[in-house]
């Protein structure tokens, strides 16, 4: 799930997705966002075939230790590795990685047709993200349950949970059949890109 910056799923757990080492890529072999079934809305009852119905992005807020690039202890690595195996085997986590401190980052903005780039570090620590996890769950309550478990393993912190927008969230006159086909093709290419990295 979420973890300290610089730790990839492959480096923490050798039993990564489908038993194959993905060399720490952020996007798994599956597409980042599954296509919803027609008419399905987030929070609606789960499909009868057992498929999980919503994706949720969990973001761990940065703190002074993550911004300093402080590595985890051996004990933290072991506890997080065991938790990652559990959440992966439960079919809940699709992707997740820690982020390097903001001193390695950049902010790119566009305003009034002009770009600006600001090099890190960034100081507004309440808004910074240290790591993320993409979860596939039946409800926000399930996402909260797994996040509570993660925070217990991690020791402390604050996570924000945000549902991923699904195809069914858009009106059909905006997300037309043509756009749906283009998105499906793009997602297939993303999946191919992830396999070949």
54 DSSP 8-state letter = E
* Domain coordinates in residue numbering, the chain: 9-195
What confidence score (pLDDT) does residue 74 get? 95
Largest CA distance in the chain: 53
Written as six digits, the tokens of 180 are 């749906």
Helical (H) or strand (E) element with 56: strand 54-61
DSSP character for 21?
-
Question: How far, in Å, CA of 82 to CA of 76, rounded?
Answer: 10
Measured distance CA(166)–CA(184) in Å, rounded: 13
Q: How high is the pLDDT of residue 157? A: 93
CA–CA distances in Å: residue 46 to residues 67, 68, 89, 90, 121:
39, 42, 20, 16, 43
Series of mean pLDDT values for 10-residue runs along the chain (197 residues): 43 36 36 39 44 90 93 93 97 95 96 97 85 97 98 94 92 93 94 86
The yes or no reply on domain 9-195 and CATH 3.30.1490.20 is no
- pLDDT value for 51: 64
Q: What is the DSSP letter of 124?
A: -
Q: What's the pLDDT at 50?
A: 56
Look at residue 29 in the predicted model and tell me its pLDDT: 34
Amino acid 77: pLDDT: 93
């Amino acid at each position: 799930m979420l973890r300290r910056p610089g730790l990839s799923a492959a480096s923490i757990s050798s039993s990564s997705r489908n038993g194959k080492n993905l060399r720490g890529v952020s996007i798994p072999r599956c597409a980042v966002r599954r296509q919803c079934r027609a008419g399905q809305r987030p929070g609606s009852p789960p499909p009868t075939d057992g498929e999980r119905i919503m994706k949720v992005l969990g973001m761990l807020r940065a703190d002074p230790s993550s911004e300093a690039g402080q590595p985890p202890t051996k004990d933290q690595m072991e506890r997080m590795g065991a938790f990652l195996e559990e959440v992966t085997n439960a079919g809940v986590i699709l992707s997740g990685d820690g982020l390097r401190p903001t001193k390695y980052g950049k902010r790119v903005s566009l305003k009034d047709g002009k770009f600006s780039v600001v090099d890190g570090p960034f100081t507004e620590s309440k808004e910074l993200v240290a790591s993320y996890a993409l979860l596939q769950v039946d409800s926000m309550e399930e996402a909260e349950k797994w996040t509570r478990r993660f925070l217990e393993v991690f020791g402390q912190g604050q996570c924000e949970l945000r549902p991923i927008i699904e195809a069914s969230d858009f009106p059909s006159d905006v997300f037309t059949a043509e756009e749906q086909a283009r998105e499906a093709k793009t997602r297939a290419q993303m999946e191919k890109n992830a396999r070949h990295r």
